[in-house]
Amino acid sequence: CVTFRETLLLADPQRSTQTEMTRIVDVIAHEIAHMWFGNLVTMDWWNGIWLKEAFATFMQVATTDAFRPQWRRWDGFCVERGAAFDTDSLASTRPIEFEVISPEDAEAMYDILTYEKGAAVVRMLEQFLGSAQFRSGVKHYLTSHSYANTTTTDLWDSLEHASGVPVRAAMDTWIFQGGHPVVAVEATSEGISLKQSRFGYSSVDPTSWHIPIIIRAQVGSEQVEKRVLLEGNHEEIDLGGTPQWAVVNAGGHGFYRVTYGEDLLRALSKRALDVLSPSERYGLVDDTWSSVLAGETDAETHLSLVTSLASETDLAVWQRILSSLEHLYSIADGQGRSRLQVLIRDLSTTALGVLGLEPIDNEPDLDRELRALLFSSAGTTGADNSIRELADQIFTHSKAGKDTEPNLTAAAVRVVAAAGDDEIHSELVSLYRQAPTPQLEVRYLMALLELEHLDLFEQTLELFTSEVRTQNAPYLLGAAMAHRNHGYLAWQVIRDRWEELNKKFPQNSIPRMVGGIRSLSTPVIAEEIRDFFAQHPIPQGQLTLEQHLEKMTVNVALRAREGSRIGG
């Protein structure tokens, strides 16, 4: 028997957004995958929980991709993999598999490293071995160990049996040690040189991996592809000449960062829309942004890159571009915020002009989601007046029962909230209370997080803690800490009502609620938060808490480096 929340079973396709529909298919596929990964074959002990959760996550994406190929689910998985990269870039990361002694250890396994990093590593291996050999190996694993218990080595044995590749030697470096590599790429007269080191936002212990690398490059008039297992720290790759451009991590499936020498980066940036796939372009933007967070690259370089991608048409790439710009906005001073607001508005409205503001019959589902993303960005942080006027019209039509496109309607609600007054706040609360579907209920609650008026935001926080169901409230409070101006107010509520909220909310939701502190970046507030958690540990998620605190420190350092430079 599989039990689902109503938001994952009760959906009206005429009112649901693309994000909501994708999540429904993802979660149902994930839970059904456990019939094989977890039930038919069960891990020997809790340390191997990734054998069921990482594979179920991998299978949910593969299943959704097969069910609706037009959703391009593997391209969308870049965003989830990016979130895993973020945690795995910390000194406080952990291996995918580690020794489990206590119930608290077992509880701590249910995190982004087990699910998303684990799935990303599985996907990397599948792409390197080839899907046919990988599928054969997994089939051997499931049939050989049906109704039995397994360890990680059993999986490696089956994959080696099917592929003839020494999988264990390579994959043990990914499963039993934390972190991930960054591969530095330089052009040579014969091809390229590769050099690996451990990536981190701050100082991390050095280590190395066996990295399955797929390379695609233009050499003269020929496009070359090569597969390499980088076992040492450095290797020269013969491509038959100096490449005009080269992409390392071709396909964008590897769980490692890539940095390019100046000439190669310039060549890729100029040709990105022509020679890189959406996943590869996502990787280029994400890798550059991670380098900014690590202090290896300045924010101006990143802004130049995203500006060069103004003609981008892929949803996931735009999600990465806009989230990085929103992040810079949150740490910038007044001048920097003014510049970023204009940049966000100009990029979003220009892309909307290319895509078109009006939905088109039979257009791709992802175009509708992209339109909503751009519309929301232009109307909230971008504060574009024409977008806000259009949002008011869409919101009015929706309330009147007229047909409106669900993705754009959801975005319009957020834009209306961002410029909202007392009347809009009361209206959104009323709509939440009367919502006919669980998706609409959550949608109105999320829109309330956009409110800019201080007293209205405080009323929203009170609503979250007093009325909203406990399955949703912790995540809304965590998201509230990411508010561009009022995040500290949400932290104050959590701090002042800590004992009450711990009794009221599910225990496994507390570490996730606290994750909102990652968005805060003021040194005084950060010190206050560290002092608070020194006195208030979270036994069921102490390592996760340490990761949140460390990422907050990274954010404080980013503000110190870039906060006053962006507007200059």
Domain 181-263 belongs to what topology? Immunoglobulin-like (2.60.40)
Enter the DSSP assignment of 135: H
Q: What was the pLDDT predicted at 15?
A: 85
Of 225, 262, 268, 274, residue with least CA distance to 244? 268
Report the predicted TM-score, pTM, of the whole model to 2 decimal places: 0.95
**Which residues, including other chains, have CB under 8 Å from residue 95's CB and lie 6 or more apart?**
175, 176, 177, 178
Average pLDDT for 483-489: 96
Distance CA(387)–CA(303), nearest Å, equals 24
Q: Domain locations in the chain? A: 6-175, 181-263
What are phi and psi for residue 3, nearest 5 degrees? -105, 130
Domain 6-175 belongs to what topology? Neutral Protease; domain 2 (1.10.390)
Choosing from 6, 20, 31, 528, the catalytic residue is: 31
Ranges assigned E (strand) in 220-357? 222-230, 234-238, 245-248, 257-260
- 99 catalytically annotated: no
pLDDT band, residue 4 (cuts 50/70/90): confident
Which amino acid is located at 292 in the chain? V
pLDDT digits (tens, 9 = 90+) for 64-96: 999 999 999 999 999 999 999 999 999 999 999
Q: What was the pLDDT predicted at 286?
A: 97
pLDDT of 12 over the 90 cut: no
pLDDT digits (tens, 9 = 90+) for 160-212: 999 999 999 899 999 999 999 999 999 999 999 999 999 999 999 999 999 99
pLDDT of 18 over the 90 cut: yes
Angle in degrees, 0-180, between the axes of helices 523-535 and 487-496, rounded to the nearest 10? 20
pLDDT digits (tens, 9 = 90+) for 226-250: 999 999 999 999 999 999 999 999 9
**Cβ neighbour number for residue 443 with a 10 Å cutoff:** 23
Residue matched to tokens 């080595």? 153
